[in-house]
Every structure is written in structure tokens, then in C-alpha cells.
Amino acid sequence: MKIQNITVLGSTGSIGMSTLDVIRRHPDRFHVFALCAHSQVESLFAQCLEFRPEFAVVRDAQLAAQLAELCRSAGLLTEVRYGVEALIEMSAAPEVDSVMAAIVGAAGLEPTLAAARAGKKLMLANKEVLVMAGELFMHAVREHGATLLPVDSEHNAIFQSLPADFGRGLAACGVQKILLTASGGPFRNTPLADLSAVTPDAACAHPNWVMGRKISVDSATMMNKGLEVIEAHWIFAAPPEMIQVVVHPQSVIHSAVQFADGSVLAQMGNPDMRTPIAYAMAYPERIAAGVEPLDLFKIARLEFYEPDFERFRCLQLAYDVLREGGTAPAILNAANETAVAAFLAGSLPFLGIARLNEATLDALPARPEGSLEDVLAADAEARLFACQAIRENSFS
């Protein structure tokens, strides 16, 4: 069996650490070629000590110097690099078989696109790549023969539930609807009047999943699910009206597919990201992920609800920009990243996130998604507008 060389983009985040846990369990199958992180030098150094990658990448020269000194002192041969160009190089390196794309936000766009253009097996955990540049990205996957395996638990579940030949068209395969499940986050039943007082710590306290702070806030606003609707559109070539969000508080059914004959096929499991990660890493085989088997007797019941689009305005905005197309999704994503950062910093209230997102979309017209430069320009313009609005205290 050939050992798979893997680059992990975002190795110190929750997805990255779960990926390394699966690798740890299967040293005969996987080897870490490169570990790429933002600024957590101590955590990255500990990973380098254990996995001995050929390369490690951090944000800037100062952090790289710190990490290089730690590696030298420990006798590690790991070469330390920094910056976006290094991320791109580690994603496209000839030695690399697979790339785990787990950098959060727009920062993951260029290295993930580089992996697609290099024809890699691409395990996609960065939904913003498809939200910002879905048309460009999917074209690169097809043109260069990359293998795209979704790692988001919902899209991984859909992938497992669809026929193997779904690429010939969902309708041709008898698919009527994609059922995208959502936990509803921590505020599913919170009175609307109380949402104005939500704190960052409360928004990050997800009832089922252990995630980073940005994605936890997105789950609380259901922007995360909105981004996943856009992601599902691109991965599965599904029109917006074929994608239905279903609130499922237990997070046991990770998503499902409804067929023309009345059947619904679903993928179930305990809420642990190591399951979809292991599936993507070993595809088309299945390997142990370290996840406890699902005990249906303990679960006892499964609940399902329609989403409240008034409570979760961000979810409605995502459907709106998907239908508008062009750079509209990139504008929404940029505004939301800016809004969430401001909320976590205490300079924007929780309800201000949706208001700022909507105001940015209203102010900036969408343009065709002609090139990566067009996408990045729309992203920059939206961030500039959102930052100015926050400074002016427009949404307090």
C-alpha cells in the first residue's frame, strides 16, 4: 500500500487537529508532508515534533524565525516557510497526494485553488472557497482532474447518500431534494428580544459540536448553514430550490437525500468530525476514526423543524445571494467575516451581524465572477465598506 503524503492547511484548528488524530491512528497509510498554521507557533512546533513533516508554514517571517529556532533546538529537519506563496507551494508540491483544506475564511482561497489546479485529492473543509469562487473552483477541479471530497459533515453525508454517478445530474439519478440538516445552534429557542444581549462566549457555546470561535458564531446566526447551502449548490450542481435546510437539534442525521420513489437516504453518526475526515482520507475505503459507534437506544428520539428565517436572517441572505450569483456570495462572505470579527472583539452587537451583512449587500452591486481578481476585488470592497460602517457605529 502506497503511503499517502498529506499537506494539512490549518493544522492547529479543530479540523486540522482531528485530521492529525486520524493520521496518528494509521501511520502505515498516511505521512504528513507539510503542516500549515497561522500564528500558533507552540502548537505547530508540538505537531512538528510528533509528525516530523518536511515543511511547516506560518503567517510571517517573525513567526517563522521563532518556529525555525525551536525546530533547530529539537534537532528537527523540518524546513520552515511563511506567507501565502508558501501555502500555495505546499498545496501544489509534486510530492503531495492529498490536501486537507481547513484554513478558515477567505485566507484559504488561493492555496485551495492551487491544490485543485495541481490535480490533487482535495479534502475540502473550507466552505468559503466555494462561496467566494464556486464557478472558478469547480472549473479548476474538472479541468485538472482533481478529486474533490467534502469534509463538512453535512456535505460528506450527502456525498455518501447520493448514487456514485450523481455527476451525470441529480434529476437523472432520481434525486428530488437535498435535506441539509442544521442543529439550530445555541439560540434556537431563545426569545428574539433576548438576542440583542448575546455575548461572544454564549454564541460560541455550541450545544453539539466543538468548533473554532468564528464558525461557532456562524452556527449561532445560521450563516454557517447559509454558506453550506451555497457550497452544496456547487458540489452537487443543485439549484437553490432543491436544497432544503432542516433543523435537527440532535445532530445525529448529518444530512439526507430525498428520491423520486419516496425514499430518503441519510447518513447518521455521533457528532465528531473525525468520521467525515477519515472517510475522505481513505476514500473509497473506510478506516477506524476513533469515534464511538452510534447508540440508537441512547438517542431515543430525533426531532426536525423548519428554520425560522426571521430569527436566522443570515440564512435567508445566503439563499438570496445564491440566486443573484456573480460576486454576491463573495460580498456576503467578506461582510460576515468582518462582522463576526467585530462581534468577537466587542465592537458589534450580535444582531448587528445580520444587519451589517444586509447593508453591505445593499450598498455594493454584484458583478460577474470572471476571474480570481474579480472575486478578490469584491471581497476587499466589501471588507472596506463593512469596516467603515463599524467605525461609524452604524449597527450598534
**342-382 pLDDT tens trace:** 999 999 999 999 999 999 999 999 999 889 999 999 999 99
Phi, psi of 195 (to 5 degrees): -70, -25
Distance from CA of residue 101 to its chain's centroid? 8
Instruction: Supply the pLDDT for residue 55.
Output: 98
Residue-wise pLDDT for 214-234, tens only, equals 889 999 999 999 999 999 999
Handedness of CA 153, 145, 84, 100 (dihedral sign): positive
pLDDT (average), residues 67-92: 97
Question: Quick one: pLDDT band at residue 210, thresholds 50, 70, 90?
Answer: low
Instruction: Supply the pLDDT for residue 211.
Output: 73
Neighbours of 2 (CB within 10 A): 6
Give the length of the chain.
396
Phi, psi of 243 (to 5 degrees): -105, 115
Neighbours of 219 (CB within 10 A): 24
Contact (CB, 8 A) for 4 and 31: yes
CA–CA separation, 191 vs 188, rounded Å? 9
Question: Quick one: pLDDT band at residue 70, thresholds 50, 70, 90?
Answer: very high
Nearest by Cα to 212 from 108, 139, 118, 360: 108
CA–CA separation, 77 vs 52, rounded Å? 8
CA–CA separation, 96 vs 33, rounded Å? 7
CA–CA separation, 183 vs 393, rounded Å? 32
Contact (CB, 8 A) for 326 and 369: yes
Instruction: Supply the pLDDT for residue 380.
Output: 96
In which order are the strands placed within the sheet that holds 121-124?
79-82, 55-58, 30-36, 4-9, 98-101, 121-124, 147-150
% of the chain at pLDDT higher than 90: 86
Contact (CB, 8 A) for 153 and 275: yes
Here the cell at position 80 is 520552515
Contact (CB, 8 A) for 251 and 209: yes
pLDDT (average), residues 320-328: 96
Nearest by Cα to 15 from 219, 211, 154, 150: 211
CA–CA separation, 9 vs 229, rounded Å? 23
Instruction: Supply the pLDDT for residue 369.
Output: 87
pLDDT for 191 beyond 70: yes
Query: What CATH number labels 4-150?
Result: 3.40.50.720
CA–CA separation, 222 vs 242, rounded Å? 19
CA gyration radius for the chain? 20
For residue 182, give the H/E element and its range: strand 175-182
pLDDT for 160 beyond 70: yes
Query: What CATH number labels 325-391?
Result: 1.10.1740.10
Taking the domains of the chain in order of start, what are their residue ranges? 4-150, 158-270+295-299, 325-391
CA–CA separation, 124 vs 305, rounded Å? 28
Handedness of CA 361, 367, 372, 373 (dihedral sign): negative
Question: Quick one: pLDDT band at residue 40, thresholds 50, 70, 90?
Answer: very high
CA–CA separation, 377 vs 365, rounded Å? 12
Phi, psi of 209 (to 5 degrees): -110, 150
Here the cell at position 219 is 452556527
CA–CA separation, 199 vs 293, rounded Å? 35
Q: CA 348, 351, 356, 362: dihedral to nearest 10 degrees? A: -170
Instruction: Supply the pLDDT for residue 395.
Output: 65
Instruction: Supply the pLDDT for residue 314.
Output: 97
Here the cell at position 180 is 441539509
Contact (CB, 8 A) for 97 and 5: yes
Neighbours of 62 (CB within 10 A): 12
Prediction pTM value: 0.92
Instruction: Supply the pLDDT for residue 69.
Output: 97
